[in-house]
Structure 1
Amino acid sequence: MTSKSLPEHNRRHNRSLLLQLLFHTDELSRADLARQSGLTRATVSDVIAELTADGLIVEHGQRTDARVGKPAQLIGLDDRAYHVIALDLSADDAFTGAITTLRGEIVHRISQPIAGARGDEAVALAATIIRDLARRSTVRVLGVGVASPGIIDHAGVVREAPNLGWHDLDLGGRLRRAIDVPVHIVNDANAAALAVHTERRAPGQSLLTIAIEHGVGAGLIIGDALVEGDGFSAGEIGHVIVDDDGELCACGRRGCLEVAIAVPSLRRRLAAEPGDHEQVLRDAGRSLGVALSPVVAALNLNAIVLAGPADLIEGPFLDTALATIRTRTLPDVSSALQMTIAAHPEQLALRGATALVLAAELRIS
């Protein structure tokens, strides 16, 4: 902490606290909110009045269950009060954008082929998608969330995204010229972690999300906080070497995790060895387990979520990865570890971009 707490900080905290409770519960009374938050009823009433004025609260009528006294009035978060514009720039063939509700429900979705666009052309394509979606939105836009490949700092500068030809690019600043609302940028693997965490699709306060597509990236949340690293490159595990004698990687070294488990490499090996389908997937799962074992041991993680094509990562791949972690770590470290597959992985980056805007603008996580 570097400064004292001011009254406006307390107001923001209380507002965030009640929004968080309403976001994760369908409906509550003001008395419920006071009990669960620890705030006084007067403070709850003041904050709810403020949120109602902002159009964020919807009345659900009186409680119908049998209780003593006057039935309480139930309220909830109006998740359609605002739209969020979410962009997924992680695929190598198309940029995808969506209008979502505050809870991540997709209202409208569009996809534009990249057609080899890089550098300024790729930025222009993303800006075009934002403007198109903004015109289609029927309510106020809370903000724009962008899930992008690369190393990205808090200012929205893409320090490095080689596949798009972006180097020290102020992507946030460039996209803000397309729309007069806040724009927030996050690494695509971190977006996946935010989605899983915000939607409570994994137990506990800490989790690791592994995105397996054309590359391999990890998003790490510890104690409810996204871990980005001092250089904003936490989770860049694709080029951890898992086999000194493995295939040559695009980075110039041999045996990187990306070569072992990324989708193009896996599909190529499966096509070359059609009779060894299960063994190919087990070998890939073992490579992932080898890479993750020290991470699980160091952080005592209990939840890992894999996002990728189900036909590749379900079954032998996932089973072998989990077994490898448990074999290479102490039972006290990994016996409670759960490794699962993300639901609707094709939407994960978009949902994570929405979660990023919720966290930045409403402090909901």
Structure 2
Amino acid sequence: MAQLRVTSKALPEHNRQHNRSLLLQTLLHDGPMSRADLARESGLTRVTVSDLVNDLASEGLINELGTRTGAHVGKPAKLIGLNENAYHVVSLDLSPDDRFVGAIIAIDGKIVHRAEVPLENATGEAALRKALDLAGDLVKRTTARLLGIGVGTPGIVDSEGVVLAAPNLDWRGLDLAAAFRTEFSVPVHVGNDANGAALAVRTFQESGSSFMLVAIEHGVGAGLIIGDMLIEGIHSTAGEIGHLVVDENGERCACGRRGCLEQAIAVPHLRDRIRDAGADKRDAVLADAGHSLGLALAPIIAALGLDDLVLAGPQDLLEGPFVDAALDTVRARILTTVGDGPTVRIARDSDDLVLLGTAVFVLSAELGVS
């Protein structure tokens, strides 16, 4: 499990870095405030806050923004804010079925520049080269200090950034992090694309402390956050739902088995079936796919007691019959003792979630902020 947010002051056995992260995180999520405000929000003493603020200002991570306006008792307080352009992060999203997408992202989550390269069915070394070249173009375009490179990839990714298996890209045992470090000599953080999308929702959108995000693109994966912890599993396989079998007589999957969830709902397969069925049967195809997702998710939701499911992917496919069928299938198969059972919603700005999530990989590792 990976802890996301720093939420309390450091105990004596903790270190100064924890408190720095706490202040940065407070400014990221709550906006500019005075030193006194920071002390109240963080639980740190004013002396500690003042000392840390001076350090962070000297590093260019925060700015003095002038005095607070409006009616307040006493001397107007000086506001402090996060310097969003203190660093840039280069983020890559390798999950779409037809392209690799990249962006330069400021530390407050604003996208400064976007770029993409067509995948053109590249796999193996050819796909790796496309990803490296895309990152290289973005690195040249950065206008601030580069904090690091974040990469969100489909497949099983271990804690060292090795892609253990990504069948659609024909990557097995690929040390993706090492390949990027060799090329660019900067910190590199690689993770599963769905985990990245879940982190983006947790960090930059409104969410509870526990939810599951299902990312539907070239493949299908889930990011699971329970009690503000990203659940990755002992073998980094938590959330690998794309190869759950939902139809034993279904189509052959890239993994070698038949009827995997990925075959039923991944974007390229779903668009092919809609095209073959014709416009008048589009809703039926989407409802059937949503039903398959519901079959796969119902036991997971029941086992974990989840009540918030977030879908990320093309809205033209997910809205309407797909999400309705998924929700109906889940509710028909689990015991609901409170309310109407789980909710299913579609994430905002799905196209940017993996990019923002891979930025969180870097922000968390290098600044302790998420």
Selected match of 2:48 from 43, 50, 55: 43
Determine whether 1:168 maps to 2:198. Answer: no
Selected match of 2:195 from 186, 190, 193: 190
Any conservation in 2 of the 1:20–1:364 contact (CA below 8 Å)? yes
Residues 70-104 of structure 1: CA deviation (Å, up to 9, x unaligned): 11111111111111011112223322221111122
Determine whether 1:340 maps to 2:345. Answer: yes
Deviates more, 1:345-354 or 1:262-271: 262-271
* 1:1-365 correspondence to structure 2 within 5 Å: 9-202=14-207, 204-274=208-278, 275-332=280-337, 335=340, 337-365=342-370
Residues 91-133 of structure 1: CA deviation (Å, up to 9, x unaligned): 2332222111112222122212233433333333322222222
Distance 1:163-1:19 versus aligned 2 partners, 3 A rule: same
Deviates more, 1:275-284 or 1:78-87: 275-284
Deviates more, 1:62-71 or 1:119-128: 119-128
Count how many residue pairs are aligned between Structure 1 and Structure 2.
Answer: 360
Deviates more, 1:323-332 or 1:224-233: 323-332
Once superposed, what is the RMSD of the aligned Cα atoms?
2.0
User: TM-score, with normalisation over the residues of structure 1?
Assistant: 0.93
Q: Give the match's secondary structure for 1:361.
A: helix
Any conservation in 1 of the 2:219–2:267 contact (CA below 8 Å)? yes
Which amino acid is the alignment partner of residue 293 of structure 2? Answer: L
Residues 194-245 of structure 1: CA deviation (Å, up to 9, x unaligned): 111111332x111111111222111111111211111111111112122334
Following the alignment from structure 2 to structure 1, what is the Cα–Cα distance between the partners of residues 83 and 289?
A: 44
Distance 1:124-1:102 versus aligned 2 partners, 3 A rule: same
Distance 1:334-1:317 versus aligned 2 partners, 3 A rule: farther
Q: Which runs of 5+ in 1 are unaligned?
A: none
Moved segments of 4+, more than 6 Å: 5-8
Q: Give the match's secondary structure for 1:301.
A: coil
Distance 1:222-1:41 versus aligned 2 partners, 3 A rule: same
Post-superposition offset of 1:336: 5.3
Q: Which runs of 5+ in 2 are unaligned?
A: 1-9
Following the alignment from structure 2 to structure 1, what is the Cα–Cα distance between the partners of residues 245 and 122?
A: 31
Q: Give the match's secondary structure for 1:28.
A: coil
Following the alignment from structure 1 to structure 2, what is the Cα–Cα distance between the partners of residues 179 and 317?
A: 42
User: TM-score, with normalisation over the residues of structure 2?
Assistant: 0.91
Any conservation in 2 of the 1:296–1:334 contact (CA below 8 Å)? no
